[in-house]
């Protein structure tokens, strides 16, 4: 009896040990993705913040918010302009003498926005529209310290501006790769919505869309491939940070689309990859060295997809190829569909703009195009921007704001209006320039010199190809 009891007891114990061993063996170890944590330490080496940044967990924004907020600043600008007015003399009507001389008075406008410290020695990125025309810029850090700032450079095409304060050891936000952003990914918007009273405000949302563009009512040249987010953004957020869950910079908040100029559910940010390229050029060269492909593009429609045996409506349809451009020399033709550059798949015209903007003049790549249903790989070397005035082309013409000029007997001929500022403001092929800013010109160098010395705008008068008087103008920036 006892023997049978011990046998049963031993069997039970053995079964229990076996079950325990099986459970320990087959139980999966927590993956590194599930237990991924990030910790911040104080100067004494003590942990002050630990957060789970696992993609599988509910979002915890404390680490990102508490670290990124220190590098987002409040930007206050002053714009002084001279305004002319004329006093009305009530006796001039009765006695017939002229009115008083025009008077000038100073008009002061105040504005504000946000900025992001990207280097510890005081370099701050913000929006061009925040600091445009500013005569004084004041930057306030999250710790309430205030500095005077100066403009290092601006790029209206991307609405990016770089300013600098004289300071050291400032907190910074590191750049992330915005190309790796995913739809639905959590992001934080940090800035000063509606002014100084709401400085250092943090809102959360998701990436609602990528590669967005917005209607450009002024007809200006813009590079737009915005990140769309539903994180609450208002006018004072312009120039502020859009960061991911790990507190890295994925974009610069720049615009809202709203009938009442306030947040109604979505906002837009410039991708960090575009921002990084622009600010590096501004620091290294003082201006943006922008590559140009030299094409006019549109979305792919169903007929184009059918003709080229495409499986989807993705890509960029080539409407026009500028003669002598990078695309022309690479062999790109009208009605081609560009579907890739190097290893990047091009799904839309805005994505093509963003990708080309990452290149510099002289860089080489491989274009992937579809022509009549066949895939072609075309090596390309990117040319510099046509806006680099004074560049002499192989045919002897000279670049001027996107157009190609040539001297003729009665002035300066626009051989090709191109696709830059000249064309956008009304220039056409065959137009002969005779006056620039009310000064008579007969040589290209005279035009370039007048443009360099112009403060704000360039006004051109002359004769159209049909022999009729014509004129057009545009801003320098």
The answer, yes or no, to whether residue 22 has pLDDT greater than 50, is: no
Residues 112, 225, 238, 425: which is the catalytic one? 238
Greatest Cα-to-Cα distance within the chain, rounded to the nearest angstrom: 140
In the residue annotation, 159 being an active-site residue is answered as yes
Question: Is 44 contained in some domain?
Answer: no
- DSSP secondary structure code for residue 361 in this structure: T
How many domains does the chain divide into?
3
22's CB contacts (< 8 A; 6+ apart) are: none
Q: Among 268, 285, 302, give the residue marking a domain's end.
A: 285
- Residue carrying structure tokens 């061009």: 128
Between helix 349-357 and helix 272-285 the angle, nearest 10°, is 30
Task: Say yes or no: 268 and 295 in one domain.
Answer: no
Phi/psi at 428 (nearest 5 deg)? -135, 160
Phi/psi at 347 (nearest 5 deg)? -105, -15
Distance (Å, rounded) from C-alpha 451 to C-alpha 344?
A: 38
The answer, yes or no, to whether residue 51 has pLDDT greater than 70, is: no
More confident of the two residues 221 and 311: 311
Q: How confident is the model at residue 429 (pLDDT cuts 50, 70, 90)?
A: confident
Task: Say yes or no: 191 and 278 in one domain.
Answer: yes
Distance (Å, rounded) from C-alpha 323 to C-alpha 308?
A: 24
Residues 54, 112, 159, 230: which is the catalytic one? 159
Question: Is 118 contained in some domain?
Answer: no
Residues 60, 129, 328, 477: which is the catalytic one? 129
Task: Say yes or no: 192 and 273 in one domain.
Answer: yes
> Does the global pTM surpass 0.85?
no
Give the CATH number of the domain where residue 450 resides: 2.30.42.10
Q: Among 384, 412, 445, give the residue marking a domain's end.
A: 384
Residue ranges making up the domain that contains 299: 291-384
Tokens encoding 376: 């072609």
pLDDT of residue 435: 95
Length of the chain in terms of residues written: 477
Phi/psi at 235 (nearest 5 deg)? -50, -40
Tokens encoding 250: 């994925």
Q: How confident is the model at residue 260 (pLDDT cuts 50, 70, 90)?
A: low
Tokens encoding 365: 């790549």
Strand ranges for 200-248 from DSSP E = 201-212, 226-229, 241-244
Q: How confident is the model at residue 89 (pLDDT cuts 50, 70, 90)?
A: low
Tell me the C-alpha to C-alpha distance, in Å, between residue 343 and each of 54, 294, 366: 28, 21, 9
Query: 311-319 long-range CB contacts below 8 Å, 24 or more apart?
Result: 314/339, 314/345, 314/346, 314/347, 314/348, 315/339, 315/346, 315/347, 315/348, 315/370, 316/346, 316/348, 316/349, 316/351, 316/352, 318/369, 319/295
Q: Among 285, 313, 328, give the residue marking a domain's end.
A: 285
Task: Say yes or no: 312 and 279 in one domain.
Answer: no
More confident of the two residues 420 and 3: 420
Distance (Å, rounded) from C-alpha 137 to C-alpha 142?
A: 17
In the residue annotation, 129 being an active-site residue is answered as yes
More confident of the two residues 414 and 44: 414
Distance (Å, rounded) from C-alpha 464 to C-alpha 456?
A: 25
- Whether residue 417 contacts residue 410, with contact meaning beta carbons closer than 8 Å, is answered with no
How many CA atoms does the CB half-sphere of 446 hold within 13 Å? 16
Task: Say yes or no: 362 and 428 in one domain.
Answer: no
Task: Say yes or no: 203 and 300 in one domain.
Answer: no
3-state secondary structure at position 129:
helix
- DSSP secondary structure code for residue 71 in this structure: G
Question: Is 410 contained in some domain?
Answer: yes
Task: Say yes or no: 274 and 301 in one domain.
Answer: no
**What integer best gives the mean pLDDT of the chain?**
82
DSSP codes, 164-203:
EES-SS-----B--GGG--TT-EEEEEE-TTSGGGTTEEE
- DSSP secondary structure code for residue 301 in this structure: -
pLDDT of residue 20: 53
What's the average model confidence in pLDDT over 139-156? Answer: 92
The answer, yes or no, to whether residue 318 has pLDDT greater than 50, is: yes
Tokens encoding 199: 């400085």
Give the CATH number of the domain where residue 280 resides: 2.40.10.10
Question: Is 433 contained in some domain?
Answer: yes
- Whether residue 398 contacts residue 412, with contact meaning beta carbons closer than 8 Å, is answered with no
Task: Say yes or no: 432 and 413 in one domain.
Answer: yes
Distance (Å, rounded) from C-alpha 116 to C-alpha 1?
A: 83
Phi/psi at 196 (nearest 5 deg)? -65, -30
Residue range 59-84, pLDDT digits in tens: 789 989 988 999 999 999 998 766 65
Q: How far apart are the first and last CA of the chain?
A: 102
Question: Is 348 contained in some domain?
Answer: yes
């Amino acid at each position: 009896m006892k023997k049978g009891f011990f046998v049963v007891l031993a069997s039970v114990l053995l079964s229990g040990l076996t079950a325990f061993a099986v459970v320990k063996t087959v139980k999966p170890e927590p993956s590194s993705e599930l237990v991924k944590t990030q910790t911040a330490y104080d100067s004494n080496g003590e942990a002050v913040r630990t957060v789970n940044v696992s993609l599988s967990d509910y979002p915890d924004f404390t680490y990102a918010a508490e670290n990124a907020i220190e590098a987002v600043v409040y930007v206050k600008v002053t714009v002084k302009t001279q305004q002319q007015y004329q006093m009305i003399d009530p006796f001039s009507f009765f006695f017939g003498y002229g009115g008083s001389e025009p008077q000038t008075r100073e008009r002061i406008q105040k504005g504000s926005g946000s900025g992001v410290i990207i280097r510890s020695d005081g370099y701050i990125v913000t929006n061009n529209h925040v600091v445009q025309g500013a005569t004084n810029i004041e930057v306030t850090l999250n710790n309430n310290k205030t500095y005077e700032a100066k403009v290092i450079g601006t790029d209206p095409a991307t609405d990016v501006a770089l300013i600098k304060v004289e300071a050291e050891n400032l907190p910074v936000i590191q750049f992330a790769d915005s190309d790796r952003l995913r739809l639905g990914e959590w992001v934080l918007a940090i800035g000063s919505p509606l002014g100084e009273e709401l400085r250092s405000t943090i809102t959360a949302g998701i990436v609602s869309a990528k590669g967005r563009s917005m209607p450009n009512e002024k007809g200006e040249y813009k590079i737009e491939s915005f990140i769309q987010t539903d994180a609450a953004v208002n006018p004072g957020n312009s120039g502020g940070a859009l960061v991911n869950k790990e507190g890295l910079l994925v974009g610069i908040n720049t615009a809202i689309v709203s009938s009442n100029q306030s947040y109604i559910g979505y906002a837009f940010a410039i991708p960090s990859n575009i921002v990084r390229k622009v600010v590096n050029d501004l620091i290294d060269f003082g201006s943006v060295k922008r590559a140009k492909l030299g094409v006019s593009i549109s979305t792919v429609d169903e007929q184009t997809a059918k003709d080229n045996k495409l499986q989807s409506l993705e890509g960029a349809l080539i409407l026009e190829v500028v003669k002598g451009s990078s695309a022309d020399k690479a062999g790109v033709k009208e009605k081609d569909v560009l579907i890739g550059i190097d290893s990047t798949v091009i799904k839309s015209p805005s994505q093509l703009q963003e990708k080309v903007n990452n290149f510099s003049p002289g860089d080489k790549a491989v274009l992937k195009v579809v022509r009549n249903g066949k895939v072609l790989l075309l090596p390309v070397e990117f040319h510099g921007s046509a806006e680099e005035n004074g560049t002499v082309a192989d045919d002897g013409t000279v670049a001027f704001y996107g157009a190609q000029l040539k001297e003729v007997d009665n002035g300066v001929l626009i051989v090709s209006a191109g696709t830059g500022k000249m064309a956008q403001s009304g220039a056409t092929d065959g137009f002969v320039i005779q006056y620039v800013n009310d000064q008579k010109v007969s040589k290209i160098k005279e035009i370039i010199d007048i443009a360099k010395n112009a403060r704000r705008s360039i006004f051109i008068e002359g004769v159209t190809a049909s022999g009729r008087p014509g004129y057009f103008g545009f801003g320098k920036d």
